[in-house]
A and B are shown apart, each in its own frame.
Chain A
Amino acid sequence: MRFMLLFSRQGKLRLQKWYTSISDKEKRKITRELVQIVLARKPKTSSFVDWRDLKIVYKRYASLFFCCGIEQEDNELLTLEVVHRYVELLDKYFGNVCELDIIFNFEKAYFILDEFLMGGEIQETSKVSVAKAIEDSHLDLLVSETMEEYMNKPTF
């Protein structure tokens, strides 16, 4: 997988993960282009779009589009399931995840993705193992506070 983008139905980017080095300018260009392409797709169409030399695999969950860029020889259907597994993991962690969870806990969304994918390849497919890794690492976070809470504290 070359990259994964999450954006809302309004086209707002919520999360981006790039697995190859691309300049920021190029990233912005790609994002803009893909948001446009994906949002313009009609319902009931396939989840796959040819784009440049890549294949775009996307799926909508509630108000969020998950959009992955994969190589020609990568497996499209399984990419859909990668997305699904990621959603399941988010769901398990946040409990009925919604767009706001990802906005306000962006760093956790990234950490969970990191536990699951690395360098664009699946690291761990077992939901239990990933969830355990996340739980373990968050032990001391859970006893202290959430990101959201301490972002809201006054600085002095």
Chain B
Amino acid sequence: GDKALDGYSKKKYVCKLLFIFLLGHDIDFGHMEAVNLLSSNKYTEKQIGYLFISVLVNSNSELIRLINNAIKNDLASRNPTFMGLALHCIANVGSREMAEAFAADIPKILVAGDTMDSVKQSAALCLLRLYRTSPDLVPMGEWTSRVVHLLNDQHLGVVTAATSLITTLAQKNPDEFKTSVSLAVSRLSRIVTSASTDLQDYTYYFVPAPWLSVKLLRLLQCYPPPEEPAVRGRLTECLETILNKAQEPPKSKKVQHSNAKNAVLFEAISLIIHHDSEPNLLVRACNQLGQFLQHRETNLRYLALESMCTLASSEFSHEAVKTHIETVINALKTERDVSVRQRAVDLLYGMCDRSNAQQIVAEMLNYLETADYSIREEIVLKVAILAEKYAVDYTWYVDTILNLIRIAGDYVSEEVWYRVIQIVINRDDVQGYAAKTVFEALQAPACHENLVKVGGYILGEFGNLIAGDPRSSPLIQFNLLHSKFHLCSVPTRALLLSTYIKFVNLFPEIKGTIQDVLRSDSQLKNSDVELQQRAVEYLRLSSIASTDILATVLEEMPPFPERESSILAKLKRKKGPGTLPDLEDTKKEKHVDVNGGTEPVTAVNASNVSTPSPSADLLGLGVAPSQNSAHPPSSGGSLLVDVFSDVVPSVAPLAPSAEENFERHMSGHCPLLECCCASPDLPSTEVVTEEPPAVPVHDADELIDKFICKNNGVLFENQLLQIGLKSEFRQNLGRMYVFYGNKTSTQFLSFAPNVICPDGLQSELNIQAKPVDPVIEGGAQVQQVVNIECVSEFVEAPVLNIQFRYGGALQNISVKLPITLNKFFQPTEMLSQDFFQRWKQLSSPQQEVQNIFKARHPMDPEVTKAKIIGFGVALLEGVDPNPENFVGAGIIHTKTIQVGCLLRLEPNTQAQMYRLTLRTSREVVSQRLCKLLSEQF
């Protein structure tokens, strides 16, 4: 109605809206009324206003200026309740805009002499909140020293709030707040020595000011131990008192009492560990925690394990922690709570050293059999690391890892089994044992695929070391491995094929058997290209190459360079703060290992090639041609050339960006390469599946949408190739220039782009693409001209298919070409009168198509205009009675007919929606145009 609402009703309605919002419905009115409530003098009205604002108003609202004004007034009001509400609102919203508006005022309120205590508390925490969101907007200044002195304030509530603020500020600006250390120590000392009744209602279940104590102890953890002897002595005294109190009988049976008391105790222990300078305190802390390890409170056991884990890393207390090993192992076995067991695992890992490694690893392996699935992978990593780090005897290491695979094969990540292979290859004292052990492990009727991988790799390298024993003769080894072959996934099979070709070199006597296997249809005609290619190439290699060449190509792997264990890196990432294991990470990991795997290749070449430059890194192949020239045209040699010649160009150095991708491609597509290198990353074949030869059309519609309102731009880009477009259209004809840029430094061969019209489109569009040169040099660009004639209206888009060979691998890319119906628009200017007359003529339901949709981009009228003009129609000004709306007209030209077209776009900025109406004489055209244009806003 017209009647203005009084404050009470306003509050009531705003409150109802709020309730509706909290029930999960959208509210899009009433904001103004809520803002009005802010300036009310009644507490409840103001309060509801603030509640509404902090819940519902987002920062870019137009109301923000009014709101800020109301807040400013309240801050200046000197009424503590109103100031409190305003500060709460700022803190609750906590946005950058709030910080911009108020970050400068709040410090003044905080340190002003006449501010009420409760307001000071709110101001301190409000400032803290703003500092967390936008530290750059909170300037340090002369107020900082005065804030530090709040630690001396009479009011414990103020001290508590101020300590929180100072702790956070001191973490970033330790020097500015250095003086807080001595103040904090003396405050803490007064609290811990006070009788339980001294602090009145700041005593919580007989514990004096636990919150403040904990906060002061946290503040002290921002600094090293105090240098001043007096302060340091006083602090030590405090910490001793806290430790002593833990031994006193409890003053209350309530859990709150013990929680509060122990909260202070644990925080004190954290400080002791942080300082790591008083052996006496550290050992006392450790003993105290030892008591807690057997406490009946689960929470205390949990925290004791956690705390002890950090204590284990201190040289002063490491030995003391180790004395609790039996208790911890027992916890691992008997705790019912998985989070406690997890802590126990952490602690065992933390206290492990050479003296107890065997015991701890054995216990962890034991536990692994029953461990919660959620923590298995972590335990596997930890066991793998400990086994490696503290291995005196590497046979123990090999046993441990094989046990890991046996017990929890699914949780053994690539890093772990890569690592065991690296170690076996680098240490010749363990190779024979490793071969024997994997051979025995493989005897089990069901063994994990990871074991097959490790087994296959190790036998391929060192199977000869156990071949003397008739029980593990070459044929038996081969049959054993091959019996697993059919149960394995493609990457493992690929690895096994490499093992087979290595066997051909190691054991010439079973060459025939292996060739038979390679020759079988299931290999040579395998549907997986990777396997097929390996089978074909290995078969040829084995039948053509001389033993010398075989011996060189299939030589034993050279040692891996020593480096930080990739497992350790993985664990760090897993444990690191704020890491939700994300895909990007895992991908990178793979790269690391792919790289790691290829490195040793340099070593292979080093013996054969005189220049082991970094670019020579894939050179396993470089060797071949030179050897070939040494053995002129034997038929075997020429095959090798063939096999290698594809690969050779790729040896040239690459742009760094392309490199990783490139290597993945390489390792995926050139098995021969890998068989020379036989690096542990063989399963990189899985990369192939990411880009199978029959590439689906690249997420086509999105690409096309980009070009609806413009004619030039980049159509497609990957690591290798960039495709740019330039096009022009006149009436029903068009010409498109397609630019292919080779982003690598290597030639593209057999480069063949083709424009394909899907069925039906052929009769609607005439497309003629000029041929292009089949070779694109590295870094070069080639242009292709495509002529287009529109015969009749169409919907589908033609597809541009590009095939080329890059470094021996066939690349296949398909992209939709952005030739859309609106490209054949001719704009038509017309007057308002004509427009409406035609609009009426096209009023049958089939002729009109309407779409209402949400805005996906900011609703800027200028951008919208540009898009409509880019769409191809004439933008008609002054036609629509509502100036917010857009109206356009144009004619679609095709060879057979012309279709007149009118459009109207009505934006609704409030709702962030558009309504688009199209009228043409043909239903298909209306629909198509409406769909195309709707995607643009």
Do A and B come from the same complex? yes
Q: Is there an interface contact between B339 and A49, defined as CB atoms closer than 8 Å?
A: yes
Q: Let me know if A144 and B88 touch, CB within 8 A.
A: no
A72 to B298, CA, bound (A): 19
A77 and B212 in contact (CB under 8 A), knowing A46-B301, A128-B201, A147-B15?
A: no
Nearest chain B CB to A18 CB, angstrom units: 9
CB distance from A72 to the nearest CB of B (A): 7
- Are B201 and A127 in contact, CB atoms less than 8 angstroms apart? yes
Tell me the bound Cα distance from A76 to B579 in angstroms: 21
User: Which B residues between 138 and 186 are near A, CB-CB below 8 angstroms?
Assistant: 156-157, 160-161, 164
* Known contacts A72-B577, A129-B201, A139-B43; A81 and B260 CB within 8 A of each other: yes
When chains A and B are docked, how far (Å) is the Cα of A72 from the Cα of B262? 17
Whether a CB of chain A sits under 8 angstroms from the CB of B91 is yes
Is the Cβ of A76 less than 8 Å from the Cβ of B157?
no
Q: Which residues on A sit within 8 Å (CB–CB) of B92?
A: 114
Q: Which of A46-67 contact B (CB under 8 A)?
A: 46-50, 52-53
- Residues on A with beta carbons closer than 8 Å to the beta carbon of B156: 125-126
Beyond contacts A21-B94, A76-B303, A123-B161: 17 other A-B pairs, Cβ-Cβ < 8 A, are A46-B339, A49-B339, A52-B580, A73-B218, A75-B218, A77-B266, A77-B299, A107-B48, A118-B121, A119-B128, A123-B157, A124-B157, A125-B204, A128-B201, A137-B43, A141-B44, A147-B15
B398 interface residue per 8 A CB criterion: no
A94 CB–B CB distance under 8 Å: no
Q: Is the CB of B157 within 8 A of A118?
A: no
Sampled A-B contacts (14; CB under 8 Å): A44-B298, A44-B337, A52-B580, A53-B580, A77-B260, A81-B204, A118-B122, A122-B164, A124-B118, A125-B156, A125-B204, A125-B211, A126-B200, A151-B16
- A106 contacts which chain B residues (CB < 8 A)? 22
B844 to chain A, nearest CB (A): 43
Does the CB pair A48–B299 fall under 8 Å?
yes
Interface residue from B12, B126, B157, B337 paired with A153 (Cβ < 8 Å): B12
Q: From A57, which residue of chain B is reached at the shortest CB distance?
A: B299
A107 proximity list for chain B (CB < 8 A) = 15, 18, 48, 51
Known contacts A77-B260, A144-B44, A151-B16; A45 and B157 CB within 8 A of each other: no
Query: In the assembled complex, how far is the CB of residue B237 from the closest CB belonging to chain A, in whole angstroms?
Result: 22
- Measured in the bound complex, the distance between the Cα atoms of B202 and A128 in whole Å is 9
State whether A125 touches B42 (Cβ < 8 A): no
B516: min CB distance to chain A, Å: 54
Q: A21-B133, A126-B156 are in contact. Are A121 and B161 (CB under 8 A)?
A: yes
Separation in Å of the A95 CB from the closest CB of chain B?
Answer: 19
Contact (Cβ within 8 A) B342 A119 = no
Q: Does residue A100 face the partner (Cβ distance < 8 Å to B)?
A: no
Q: Which of B15, B126, B201, B336 contacts A126 (CB 8 A)?
A: B201
Instruction: Find chain A residues with CB under 8 A from B161 CB.
Output: 118, 121-124
**Is there a chain A Cβ closer than 8 Å to B417's Cβ?**
no
**B410 CB to nearest A CB, Å:** 22
| A114 near B88: Cβ-Cβ < 8 Å | yes
A118 touches B94 (CB 8 A): no
Q: Give the distance to chain A from B932, nearest Cβ to Cβ, in Å.
A: 30
A92 on interface, CB distance cutoff 8 Å: no
Shortest Cβ distance from B165 into A: residue: A121
Chain A residues at the B interface, C-beta cutoff of 8 Å: 19-21, 42, 44-50, 52-53, 72-73, 75-78, 80-81, 84-85, 106-107, 110-111, 114, 118-129, 133, 136-137, 139-141, 144, 147, 150-151, 153, 155
* In the complex, chain A residues whose CB is within 8 Å of the CB of B270: 73
A44 and B299 contact, Cβ closer than 8 Å, known pairs A78-B214, A81-B210: no
Main SS class of interface, B: helix
Question: Does B885 make an interface contact (CB < 8 A)?
Answer: no
Residues from chain B with a CB closer than 8 A to the CB of A19 are: 94, 129
Q: How far is the CB of B165 from chain A (nearest CB, A)?
A: 8
User: In the docked arrangement, what's the CA distance between A128 and B210, Å?
Assistant: 16
Contact A46 B94 (CB under 8 A): no
Give A126 to B337 CA distance when docked, in angstroms: 34
Query: Which chain B residues numbered 254 to 305 have a C-beta less than 8 Å away from chain A?
Result: 256, 259-260, 262-263, 266-267, 270, 298-299, 301-303
Contact of A77 among B94, B218, B262 (CB under 8 A): B262
Task: Report whether B157 and A129 are in contact in the complex, using a CB–CB cutoff of 8 Å.
Answer: yes
Tell me if B412 counts as interface (CB < 8 A to partner A). no
- Known contacts A53-B577, A124-B157; is-contact A118 B91 (Cβ 8 Å): yes
Verify B259–A123 contact, CB threshold 8 A: no
**Which 7 interchain pairs have the tightest Cβ spacing?**
A119-B129, A77-B263, A45-B337, A118-B125, A78-B263, A46-B298, A121-B164
Which residues of chain A are near B133, meaning CB under 8 Å?
21
Question: Shortest beta-carbon distance, B218 to chain A, in Å?
Answer: 7
| B209 interface residue (CB < 8 Å to A) | yes
* Residues of B contacting A44 in the complex (Cβ-Cβ under 8 angstroms): 298, 336-337
Distance of A53 Cα from B155 Cα, bound (Å): 35
Q: Given A77-B299, A78-B211, A144-B44, do A150 and B126 touch, yes or no (CB 8 Å)? A: no
Q: Which residues of B contact A126 (CB under 8 A)?
A: 156-157, 200-202
Q: In the complex, A123 Cα to B15 Cα: how many Å?
A: 26
Known: A77-B263, A77-B303. A121 touches B15 (CB 8 A): no
Of chain B, the residue at the smallest CB distance from A127 is: B201
Contact with A along B100-144 (1 / 0, CB 8 A): 000000000000000000100110011011001100000000000
The reply on B901 being an interface residue by CB < 8 A is no
In angstroms, Cα B12 to Cα A58, docked, is 35
In the complex, B81 has a CB within 8 A of chain A: yes
Q: Name the CB-closest residue of B to A17.
A: B92
| Mask of B41-75 contacts with A, CB within 8 angstroms, 1/0 | 01110011001000000000000000000000000
Given contacts A119-B94, A123-B157, contact A78 B43 (CB under 8 A): no
Per the bound structure, the CA–CA distance linking A13 and B15 in Å amounts to 20
Nearest A residue to B213 via CB reads: A78
Q: How far is the CA of A119 from the CA of B127 in the complex (A)?
A: 9
Residues of chain B contacted by A84 (CB below 8 angstroms)? 256, 259
A-contact 0/1 string along B199-223, CB 8 Å cutoff = 0111010000111101100100100
Name the residue of chain A whose CB is nearest to the CB of B127. Answer: A119
In the complex, B340 has a CB within 8 A of chain A? yes
A50-B339 contact, Cβ under 8 Å, with A77-B266, A137-B47, A150-B15: yes
Min CB gap A129→B, angstroms: 6
Chain A residues whose C-beta falls within 8 Å of the C-beta of B15 in the assembled complex: 107, 147, 150-151
A77–chain B nearest beta-carbon distance, Å: 4
Interfacial chain B residues near A49, Cβ < 8 Å: 339
**Chain B residues whose C-beta falls within 8 Å of the C-beta of A80 in the assembled complex:** 259, 299
The smallest beta-carbon distance between A135 and chain B, in angstroms, is 12
**B19 at the A/B interface (Cβ < 8 Å)?**
yes
A53 touches B51 (CB 8 A): no
- Report whether B128 and A121 are in contact in the complex, using a CB–CB cutoff of 8 Å: yes
> What's the Cα separation between A144 and B8 when bound, in Å?
10
Check if B792 is an interface residue, CB within 8 A of chain A.
no
Q: A119-B132, A140-B44 are in contact. Are A76 and B299 (CB under 8 A)?
A: yes
CA distance A44 to B47 in the complex (A): 41
Shortest Cβ gap from A121 to chain B (Å) = 4
For B207, give the chain A residue with the smallest CB separation: A81
Contact (A151, B201) CB under 8 Å given A53-B578, A119-B132, A121-B164: no
